Chain A
Amino acid sequence: MQRVRIVLWVLVALAMAALAFLMLRPAQQTPTQQQPMTISSVGGPFTLTGSDGKPFSSVSLGGKPYAIFFGFTHCPDVCPTTLARMVRLRQQLGAGDRPFEILFVTVDPERDGPSEVGKYAELFNSPVTGLTGSPAQIDQVKKQFGIFSQKVPDSNGGYSVDHTSTVLLFDGRGEFSGTIAPEEGDSAALAKLKRITV
């Protein structure tokens, strides 16, 4: 019995040590944090492909503020939740019909062509612009906006995509103004949206 007790205490000690290690180790670096990026360099002019298959240039935003979110159309939860929230916040802002544009850019151009992003954007019963492009174009725009994405195999033989979940906000001059994270409350998010729409 004495021996069992010793073994148990050793196990307890090991568990404590493991717990301490988990609590004290530095937070894992995520890929976006590793990319050196200054605030003023985020964003800038870009050209992608619209849902009509024609080039979509950021110039066509005509100086309107915009919220840009990167996702993929096979994403059933996080992406529609985020876009639906942006639509709801835009309505709550009460600053007219369309005080800022909502852009949805796919990080999965292999599966998401113009019609896929276009139809997906229609899910929200409010204007959302779905954008795609060649893999090289998408890579370029991801880099420009500091977006991370990575394909992950799923158990059906297909794949899912891990991706940056924050929405990036740009004012009427095209300057980066801030981000909205999924876990952030609505009042903080609305304050940020007010800032780009004044």
Chain B
Amino acid sequence: MKRVLLAALLLASCSKSGPPDLQISDAWARETVLGQTETAAYMTIDNRGSGDDRLISVEAAAPAKAMLHASGSSGGISRMRHMGAGLALPAGTAVQLKPGGTHVMITGLGGPLHTNDVVKLRLQFEKSGPRDIDVSVGAGGR
């Protein structure tokens, strides 16, 4: 019995299973120029709930596609990779998607994005389900 309790305790300390409460703020994407079909979108996802969640995928309006990517630099080399396992959103933590780090890569854009344009994205969360957000396009100099 003691072992069962210990195991339960260990599990409890690993993940929080209450309801997550996600607040998404400051969503913006970089401007693009004619001929450029990709951009990156950034935002803050604050999980104010008592349970963990996970961003598992992102969708953009067709024909554009969106994907969760991580950029990183090590040994002076920058790399960008698809985050197949999604992005963990621990309870009580604000996770930032920001330039040079985790971002939503949008590909297949039909035309250039100008400042103040809005890009619609659907974020799929493991527990909170789908969430539609408006991403405002900001100047490339940001």
Contacts and interface: CB of A to CB of B under 8 A. Distances in A.
Co-complex (A, B): yes
Contacts of B74: 30
Interface stretch (A37-45, A58-66, A80-88, A132-140): A80-88
Given A123-B31, A125-B141, A181-B76, A77 B67 contact: no
B32 interface: yes
Contacts of A75: 38, 80
A33 B75 CA distance: 8
B141 A124 contact: yes
B82 A81 contact: no
Given A80-B140, A160-B80, A116 B73 contact: no
A84 B142 contact: yes
B18 interface: no
B100 to A, nearest CB: 5
Interface in B19-78: 30-40, 65, 67, 69, 71, 73-78
Name the interface size band of chain B.
20 to 34
Nearest to B79: A162
A76 B38 contact: yes
A119 interface: yes
B8 interface: no
A27 interface: yes
Contacts of A81: 99-100
A6 B40 CA distance: 50
A182 interface: yes
Interface in A100-154: 115-116, 119-120, 122-126, 148, 152, 154
Interface string A144-172: 00001000101110001011111000000
B107 interface: yes
A124 B76 contact: no
Contacts of A97: none
A154 B70 CA distance: 13
Contacts of B88: none
Closest 4 CB pairs of A and B: A30-B75, A165-B78, A123-B140, A81-B99
Given A27-B75, A116-B35, 17 more contacts: A28-B75, A32-B76, A33-B76, A75-B38, A78-B80, A84-B99, A84-B141, A115-B35, A123-B141, A125-B139, A125-B140, A148-B76, A162-B79, A164-B76, A164-B77, A181-B76, A182-B78
Interface of B: 30-40, 65, 67, 69, 71, 73-80, 82, 99-100, 103, 105-107, 139-142
